[in-house]
Structure 1
Amino acid sequence: MSKLTLDPAVFADDAVAPGTRLVNDAIVKALQALPNRWSVPLPVVRAARISGKGIFPLPPASKRAHDETVPGPRGPVPVRIVMPDGPPKGVYLHIHGGGWSVGSARENDTLTDRIAAHCGLAVVSVDYALAPETPYPAGPDDCEAAALWLVKEGPGRFGTERFAIGGESGGATLAVATLLRLRDKHLMKPFSAANLTSGCYDLRLTPSVRNWGDEPLVLNTADIARFVRNYLRLAGTPDDPDVSPLLADLRGLPKAQFTVGGKDPLLDDTLFMAARWLAAGNDTALDVYPGGCHVFVAFPGPITDQALKKVDEFLSHF
């Protein structure tokens, strides 16, 4: 049986390593230099990011990766598949972050390539529809379709029925929503593990989000509220468990590794969800890293190395 142990020392200011402070200060400085991040249309932001002209560098393209599509409810859903060196030991369905409004599988090549190389897994990363142009329920519909494709085609395509799922930020939200849809709509529990990093699980906004304020450490209160409005522009409400999976019945879900930084506006989302996951009878592990910003694993630093090694261990032995 899992047991969550939370050391209050991880939240202390003196627990934050100098290298972590330097990374955080650099992020805030870079984002404060922008006059108004929301004045640039999102299609322009997306194009800049994928061309390597975004505020943060574009990682090198993985030599293991190729792009294809799987069937979806509104047409083909793009996926980026990253293969390990040998026969896959399993498949990791990855869902990228970006507030359901930006981001792509390609922008996560460093992360997904590492998982393929270190864990021996094939990685299927989903390029789901983005808001506000194509808002809820399109994103979770696409992720659900990719999961159903994997269940049907995975054994023949990859030679395994050992499946894990996960994501970062809004991708972690969609990963849990996908697990719930497969359980409730399709009576399926094909995933044995969930790797969930810095998720937004309650779109009503948890206290840590509401109390964060203006500091742009990757994102702030206003950013998160804007992302929620984009996502729910045409349909859905924050009190629907399909939108806010913290509110769902979580029984019968797979074991999960929760990862979050202590300086993440979405800290409460992970603390609350990990506790509910455990209370629902699921195996649960929670790691809070001192001073880590939102999705700190995307930035260099000692806590990133620690967290990624923990994820490697989790995804290698689920």
Structure 2
Amino acid sequence: MPSYSPLVFQPRCFDPSSVTSETRAFNSKLEDLTLTTPSWKEVGVAEYRRLRTTGQTVLPGPTHLPSATGFELPSRDPDRSIPCRILRPQNQKSVTAVFMHLHGGGWVLGDEAYQDPMLQAMANDHGLLCISIGYRLAPEYPFPAGPQDCYDAAKWLVVNADATFNAPLGFIGGESAGAHLSLLVVLHLLQHTKSEFPDFHLKGVLLHFGCYSLDWTPSVYNFRRGQPPLVVSRDLINDFRDAFLPGWSHEMLKNPLVSPLFASLERFRGILPPALFTCGTEDYLLDDTLFMSVKWLAAGGESVLKIIPGAPHGYILFPPTLPGSGAGMGMHAVDDFIASKIGFSQFLRGSL
């Protein structure tokens, strides 16, 4: 654990006066799109997935890069594999670690091919092999299907990444529902570390605007009351959750198997990997990030928190050069965090 708290941040981040005019203009456009774009419940999940793939929803559509390649991992079901997408460095850098990426989309939307540019940039900048996991989606496949795919992929990578990719699994992370699933995966692996993977440890976890209590935190109830919805709404996230966990009561939603905020982290003291938490102040899930980052630190983990003034939910999915999005600030935090974990080992490999 570091000798200082990485959670020291400027309270001014939460002051509305810290939000730039560019960010206000950006959010205003997103508000208009949020109001005029039909929800997946209104048009049906298949049609909404098509709209999202073609860039006709609030968040940008995917850009598929020719450098990406398909890959399949085995699942616990003998007749089914897990589709994945790999992005390797395209600048002659040696691969120093594997990054297991879990996409967002409320456990309902998205796929492994949604974030090629971001993952390619991470691969190029840090010598990572980025593998995005195509886990099963609700409502066709509610809990526990999606998390099980993520567990299966992570366990396979723990055992086989070095032999297959010449680099160990070093990082796990994702955005929104992908951050939620990433944290479930990390806690799942930690429960099996001593018995199945005694020599395994992660270099870091990257958690962007995740949902860590499926019974919701206060910010979900208090955010933007009397204002237009921004990217998501409380009704929309309720719909996502209910598709993922149909029929679950409020008490069931507090189960640590689905709500890691309710997990006891004390038993993992001394083995929690370093974690980067990022979130914007204009996000329904802000309290999830604030609560979980402090909980991680209190249990002895290294917890780095980056709050983006005015950034909405999903901010890092936009191009980092887009004015007002906050994506550039978020990616800068990602770069600093990864470099602090692999910079020296990457230098050594590159000099051999």
Gaps of 5+ in 1: none
Change (3 A) 1:105 1:162: closer
CA contact (8 A) 2:39 2:236 kept: no
Aligned length: 318
Q: 1:307 aligns with which of 327, 330, 339?
A: 330
Alignment map for 1:1-318 (pairs within 5 Å): 1=2, 2-3=4-5, 4-34=7-37, 37-74=40-77, 75-85=80-90, 86-161=93-168, 163-185=170-192, 187=194, 188=197, 189-212=200-223, 213=225, 215-233=228-246, 237-250=252-265, 251=268, 252-299=271-318, 300-301=322-323, 303-318=326-341
Change (3 A) 1:221 1:314: same
The CA distance in 2 between the partners of 1:125 and 1:261, in whole Å, is: 24
Q: Which stretch shows the higher mean deviation, 171-180 or 212-221?
A: 212-221
- Structure 1 vs Structure 2: percent identity of aligned residues? 35
The CA distance in 1 between the partners of 2:40 and 2:52, in whole Å, is: 13
Please tell me the residue identity of whatever aligns with 2:275: A
1:238 is displaced (CA, Å) by 1.2
1:68 is displaced (CA, Å) by 1.8
The residue number in structure 1 matching 2:344 is none
CA contact (8 A) 1:100 1:170 kept: yes
1:36 is displaced (CA, Å) by 5.1
The CA distance in 2 between the partners of 1:135 and 1:47, in whole Å, is: 20
1:79 is displaced (CA, Å) by 0.7
1:52 is displaced (CA, Å) by 4.2
Gaps of 5+ in 2: 342-352
CA contact (8 A) 2:282 2:312 kept: yes
1:10 is displaced (CA, Å) by 0.8
CA contact (8 A) 2:34 2:231 kept: yes
Change (3 A) 1:174 1:122: same
Q: Classify the secondary structure of the residue corresponding to 2:282.
A: coil
Q: Classify the secondary structure of the residue corresponding to 2:156.
A: helix
Q: Classify the secondary structure of the residue corresponding to 2:167.
A: coil
The CA distance in 2 between the partners of 1:176 and 1:110, in whole Å, is: 23
Change (3 A) 1:235 1:71: farther
Q: Classify the secondary structure of the residue corresponding to 1:133.
A: coil
Please tell me the residue identity of whatever aligns with 1:59: P
Larger Rg computed on CA atoms? 2
The CA distance in 2 between the partners of 1:35 and 1:166, in whole Å, is: 29
Change (3 A) 1:56 1:265: closer
The CA distance in 1 between the partners of 2:340 and 2:49, in whole Å, is: 35
The CA distance in 1 between the partners of 2:146 and 2:62, in whole Å, is: 24
1:215 is displaced (CA, Å) by 3.1
Q: Which stretch shows the higher mean deviation, 205-214 or 237-246?
A: 205-214
Please tell me the residue identity of whatever aligns with 1:34: T
The CA distance in 2 between the partners of 1:162 and 1:143, in whole Å, is: 14
TM-score of the superposed pair, with normalisation by structure 1: 0.94
The CA distance in 2 between the partners of 1:204 and 1:291, in whole Å, is: 25
1:162 is displaced (CA, Å) by 5.1
1:269 is displaced (CA, Å) by 0.1
1:153 is displaced (CA, Å) by 1.5
RMSD: 1.8
CA contact (8 A) 2:207 2:278 kept: yes
